[in-house]
Amino acid sequence: MSHVKVFDTTLRDGEQSAGVNLNRLEKVEIAKQLERFGVDRMEAGFPASSPAEFESVQEIANTIKNCSVTGLARASKKDIDSAWEALKGGVEPRLHIFLATSPVHMTHKLKKTPDEVVATAVEAVTYAKEKFPHVQWSAEDACRTDLDFLVHIIEEVIKAGASVINLPDTVGYTTPKEYGYMFRYVKENVPNIHDVTLSAHCHNDLGMAVSNSLTAIENGAEQIEGTINGIGERAGNAALEEIAVALAIRSDRYPYTTRLNLREIKRTSDLVSKLTGMMVPGNKAVVGRNAFAHESGIHQDGVLKESTTYEIITPEMVGVDSNHLVLGKHSGRHAFNQKVETLGFDLNEERLKQAFVKFKDLTAKKKEVTDEDLFAILTDTQTENKDAKKYELQSFQVQYGSYNLPTATIALTLPDGERKEMANTGQGSVEAIYNTLDGLIHEQVHLQDYQLSSIGKGRDALAEVHVQLTVNGSPAAGRGSAQDVLEASARAFLNAVNRVIAKEQAYEETTKEAQL
């Protein structure tokens, strides 16, 4: 069986999803989980895009030891230099350069002739190869590129030192038959193509990203690119978990292997969903909550008699455990620490103590604490920036009745340490809370989206709220979880505001350092 490399771009292309804005701690946590999942290459971000992005990529490169960390760069020396400074501390630094090759992009975006595009690509790859041991070059919008021109430019960048050639379906336009033909054509007509690895990167605008990716593998692609849960710009990217399971289940049709640990799929999916705020649809293949649910009586009867009648993927295969009830109010520190390790978290002593306190607080309200509950506690603890100035919720109270105007009273600690309290009303309880918070904080805030979901099942399940705000004109995403829906709503609002404050604080510190 042939081996296929897995190139994960959740932290770069995935983060380009509308409304997603991960901070440094969240990116690092996702990176560590991707390492556990077993990806071969991890695109950590676009270092030249901002100081914060540079720092995130640099920390990920210095943290991850079991896969190659990659950074994106345009075909410019400035981008390449920035990427090298961010990635040079990694175990196998890798650069991903992209340049558009389709007529529409060359004419209207780049405003370059085909010969100028070839010269630019060759110059960039040559320069990058002086620094990086591995250089990947992408023909942006390859699927709408003239095939003979594509063959020519690929041959030249390979001569310049590229070791991976990526042929992306940038706008999700192509079909499996067309995409497969493009790979065959390149394989048959580029004389030095055997010196490199061919890679496929598909977008899902027409819902064919996974199908196109599998077809690319059949036609010579030795590396597949995608994101967890298929997140990404517009309609997203190919979902890596779907490709991985398809290769495993249909090995009779696809004799290809990866080094992915399929039992890490559900945890990886849950972490990305929680931190990005992008909920996984219930009917999503492989990781949706209904993926192993059987409503039809005929289906239920068949599964009870023999699971393979209607269940081609076992829950255990992707890390869905049938028994989640593990800890309660009598559980001690030792049992808690063991569970933290089992769930794959690596917390320092301080954060472990903080998580244990939150766990004990929860056991006072819930008889049994599930894996999902612990996952929420541990994720929030691990990704919380303790040093940043922020608003902290001290207390809140909401008065509501069928014939009364909802009124919220809230006490906050402000970023400067001052304690402030205020009451306000709204047409509903959540609106009353948000109107009150709006009056307490100094920033200008506008709510754009609000989503409520539950963590786990049952009456005592934790509530999780995700919000999209603009804070002083900047987009911000926030999340909050609590047993009470209203408390979760308040925490999500403040989480979004605090993210912007932390970002502004980091920018100010970076600017001061640059001036010194």
pLDDT in tens, 141-172: 999 999 999 999 999 999 999 999 999 999 99
How many angstroms separate the CA atoms of 374 and 234, rounded? 32
- Out of 3.30.160.270, 3.40.50.720, 3.40.50.300, 3.40.50.360, the CATH code matching 392-513 is 3.30.160.270
Question: According to the model, what pLDDT value does residue 511 have?
Answer: 65
pLDDT band for position 335 (cuts 50, 70, 90) = confident
pLDDT tens profile 53-62? 999 999 999 9
Stretch 203-225: mean pLDDT: 98
User: Lowest-confidence range among 18-22, 194-198, 228-232?
Assistant: 18-22
Stretch 18-37: mean pLDDT: 93
Task: Name the nearest CA neighbour of 9 among 348, 192, 272, 281.
Answer: 272
Is the model's pLDDT at 303 over the cut of 60?
A: no
Tell me which range, 246-255, 340-349, 506-515, is most confidently predicted by mean pLDDT: 246-255
Question: According to the model, what pLDDT value does residue 103 have?
Answer: 97
Please give the C-alpha separations between residue 453 and each of 65, 279, 484, 489, in angstroms, as whole numbers.
35, 9, 12, 11
Stretch 208-217: mean pLDDT: 98
Inter-residue contact 498 to 469 (CB < 8 Å)? no
Its pTM stands at 0.89
Please give the C-alpha separations between residue 340 and each of 348, 371, 502, in angstroms, as whole numbers.
11, 10, 28
Please give the C-alpha separations between residue 209 and each of 41, 172, 218, 262, in angstroms, as whole numbers.
19, 7, 14, 20
Task: Name the nearest CA neighbour of 438 among 467, 413, 471, 465.
Answer: 471
> Residues of the chain with pLDDT > 90: what percent?
75
User: Lowest-confidence range among 111-120, 256-265, 369-378, 478-487?
Assistant: 369-378
Task: Name the nearest CA neighbour of 244 among 229, 221, 262, 228.
Answer: 262
What integer best gives the mean pLDDT of the chain? 92
The full DSSP string for 428-444 is SHHHHHHHHHHHHSSS-
pLDDT tens profile 408-423? 999 999 999 999 999 9
What residues are paired with 6 via a beta bridge?
Answer: 224
Q: Which residue did the predictor score with more confidence, 110 or 331?
A: 110
Task: Name the nearest CA neighbour of 220 among 249, 193, 251, 253.
Answer: 193
Classify domain 2-276 by CATH architecture. Alpha-Beta Barrel (3.20)
